[in-house]
């Protein structure tokens, strides 16, 4: 990824971000709230176009996980996971359930899960995508200490198996393979953002 | 793709999914009309084709904002956009699921509702045929409207304002086919035009819907 600039709601937030990530390595994005961690991840995941610069990895190598886990509360844990496994064409959900300690909850509707259990299910989805690059936005929110350690172990296995990971997180997962990128260095020039707020009457009907 | 269709159908029939909502709404509108205009048989017979089609249209409209809003709220739309299925495929499947849960049940149940409005006997096959040909267009056009308004808080009203004008051609030819059927005239012309609208919408609108979704997901 070279010289990337990205914007949130027509407001440029980051510019000149460049890095390369080798196989088996993780990159942790750091920076104060609002610096553009989520925006950068969404741009890299192909959900929004970059203002400038280029991303070299193909979008079909990415598994993206946002703040929201994308769970259907009316479906059970196993049904939620089986749906994503089917979408990504991988099929078998048993190893992922086992790995994230969800097997006992498999038949429980997602609406009866605690916040931490929902997050574990959201992270189990990454395992059934079978994709090498994980892009995670605050993956450890609402996880307890044991689950954070579990996720750290899962992450290490993923990296050891030739995967890559990009994370916006403030918690230390204990990854020796991780590099840290401080995003506040890349803040966009505020003058570029000066005339971004000119909405006129566009929103009169919204 | 089949997985997505099955999930959407499963969600529609579980609690809070809204399956049956359209059908119940259709029934209530059709019951209200005779109460409003009076029970004169010849009056009801004259307005039945139009009322049935307007009611079907409104019933379809009712569940449109669910197509993407729920997936957007819980984050699955972002995840679907990064999944291996093209977004055009996602919107086509969403439209198909919407039709299977609203348009198809409406079509199958329509003879019953025709009875409530004193629809003349020869019109029944044409009512079912015109609804069967026309409701897919309602779902596809509605999916486009839902894609345009996804992410807006309380976008439901805007969605109706956007979508109802686009429903006009379907309504005109659909109701015309039933009226001609009721009077024993040839129905081929409105039915062919109705089918043309449906096929044109199915061919073109998934691409427009996918483009609108991409812009709204930014």
Please list, in sequence order, all residues whose beta carbon lies within 8 angstroms of the beta carbon of residue B148, skipping any fewer than 6 positions away: B159, B162, B212, B216
For CA atoms B184, B189, B190, B195, the dihedral sign is positive
- Give the span between the Cα atoms of A119 and A124, in whole angstroms: 9
Q: What is A116-150 written as a DSSP string?
A: HHHHHHHHHHHHHH--SEEEEESTTTT--HHHHHH
Residue-level pLDDT at A206:
52
Average pLDDT over residues B155-175: 92
pLDDT tops 60 at residue B139: yes
Partner-chain contact A87 B80, CB within 8 Å: yes
Q: Does residue A104 lie in a domain region?
A: yes
pLDDT tops 90 at residue B169: yes
Smallest CA–CA distance, residue A23 to chain B, in Å, is 21
**Residue B173 structure tokens:** 């030819």
Residue-level pLDDT at A162:
84
Partner-chain contact B17 A71, CB within 8 Å: no
The structural domains of chain B, with segments of one domain joined by +, span 2-217
Residue-level pLDDT at A132:
87
Q: Does residue A199 lie in a domain region?
A: no
Count the domains in chain A: 1
What's the pLDDT band for B17 if we cut at 50, 70, 90?
low
Which among B146, B59, B55, B157 has a CA at the least distance from the CA of B101?
A: B59
Exposed / middle / buried, residue B151 (Cβ in 10 Å: 0-12, 13-18, 19+) = middle
- Give the span between the Cα atoms of A178 and A171, in whole angstroms: 12
Partner-chain residue, chosen from A67, A70, A74, that has the shortest CB–CB distance to B11: A74
Partner-chain residue, chosen from B16, B74, B81, that has the shortest CB–CB distance to A47: B81
CATH for A112 = 3.40.50.300
Q: Does residue A206 lie in a domain region?
A: no
Chosen from B76, B77, B153, B160 to mutate, greatest number of chain A CBs within 10 A: B76
Please list, in sequence order, all residues whose beta carbon lies within 8 angstroms of the beta carbon of residue B167, skipping any fewer than 6 positions away: B57, B61, B138, B141
The percentage of residues in chain B with a pLDDT greater than 90, rounded to a whole number, is 61
In degrees and rounded to multiples of 5, residue B38 shows phi and psi of 95, 160
Strands A11-17 and A2-8: antiparallel
What's the complex ipTM?
0.82
Helices and strands in chain A: count of H runs, count of E runs: 5, 8
- Give the span between the Cα atoms of B51 and B110, in whole angstroms: 12
pLDDT tops 70 at residue B58: yes
Partner-chain contact A68 B75, CB within 8 Å: yes
Q: Does residue A40 lie in a domain region?
A: yes
Report which of residues B137 and A96 the model is more confident about.
Answer: B137
Each residue's pLDDT tens digit, B200-216: 999 999 999 999 999 88
Q: Domain of A66? A: 2-194
Residue-level pLDDT at B135:
95
Partner-chain contact B3 A64, CB within 8 Å: no
HSE-CB of B120 using CA atoms within 13 angstroms: 14
Q: pTM of the full predicted structure? A: 0.87
Q: Does residue A201 lie in a domain region?
A: no
Name the 3-class secondary structure at A169: coil
Residue-level pLDDT at A186:
78
What's the pLDDT band for B198 if we cut at 50, 70, 90?
very high
Each residue's pLDDT tens digit, A132-169: 888 888 888 888 888 888 888 888 888 888 888 888 88
Question: In which residue ranges of chain A is pLDDT below 50?
Answer: 194, 196-197
């Amino acid at each position: 990824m070279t010289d990337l600039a990205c914007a949130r709601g027509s407001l440029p937030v980051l510019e000149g971000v460049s890095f390369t990530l080798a196989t088996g390595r993780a990159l942790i994005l750091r920076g104060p709230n609002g610096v553009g961690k989520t925006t950068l991840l969404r741009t890299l995941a192909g959900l929004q176009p970059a203002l400038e610069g280029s991303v070299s990895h193909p979008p079909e190598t990415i598994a993206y996980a946002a703040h929201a886990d994308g769970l259907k509360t009316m479906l059970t844990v196993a049904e939620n996971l089986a749906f994503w496994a089917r979408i990504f064409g991988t099929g078998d959900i048993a190893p992922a359930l086992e790995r994230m300690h969800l097997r006992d909850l498999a038949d429980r509707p997602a609406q009866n899960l605690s916040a931490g259990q929902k997050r574990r299910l959201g992270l189990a989805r990454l395992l059934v995508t079978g994709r090498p690059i994980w892009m995670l936005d605050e993956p450890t929110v609402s996880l307890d200490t044991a689950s954070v350690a579990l996720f750290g172990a899962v992450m290490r296995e993923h990296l050891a198996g030739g995967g890559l990971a990009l994370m916006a997180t403030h918690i230390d997962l204990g990854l020796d393979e991780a590099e840290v990128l401080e995003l506040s260095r890349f803040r966009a020039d505020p003058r570029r953002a000066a005339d971004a707020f000119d909405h006129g009457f566009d929103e009169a009907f919204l | 793709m089949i997985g997505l269709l099955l999930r959407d159908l499963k969600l529609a029939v579980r609690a809070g999914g809204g399956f049956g909502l359209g059908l119940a709404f259709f029934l209530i509108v059709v019951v209200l009309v005779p109460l409003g205009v009076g029970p004169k048989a010849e009056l009801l017979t004259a307005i039945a084709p139009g009322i049935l089609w307007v009611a079907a249209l409104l019933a379809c409209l009712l569940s449109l904002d669910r197509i993407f809003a729920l997936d957007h709220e819980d984050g699955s739309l972002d995840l679907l956009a990064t999944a291996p299925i093209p977004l055009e495929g996602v919107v086509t499947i969403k439209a198909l699921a919407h039709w299977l849960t609203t348009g198809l049940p409406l079509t199958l149940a329509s003879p019953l509702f025709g009875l409530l409005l004193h629809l003349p006997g020869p019109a029944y096959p044409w009512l079912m045929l015109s609804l069967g040909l026309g409701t897919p267009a309602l779902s596809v056009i509605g999916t486009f409207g839902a894609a345009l308004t996804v992410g807006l808080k309380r976008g439901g009203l805007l969605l109706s304002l956007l979508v109802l004008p686009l429903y006009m051609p379907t309504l005109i030819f659909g109701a015309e086919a039933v009226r001609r059927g009721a009077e024993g005239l040839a129905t081929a012309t409105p039915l062919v035009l109705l089918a043309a609208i449906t096929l044109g919408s199915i061919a073109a609108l998934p691409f427009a819907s996918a483009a609108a979704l991409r812009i709204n997901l930014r």
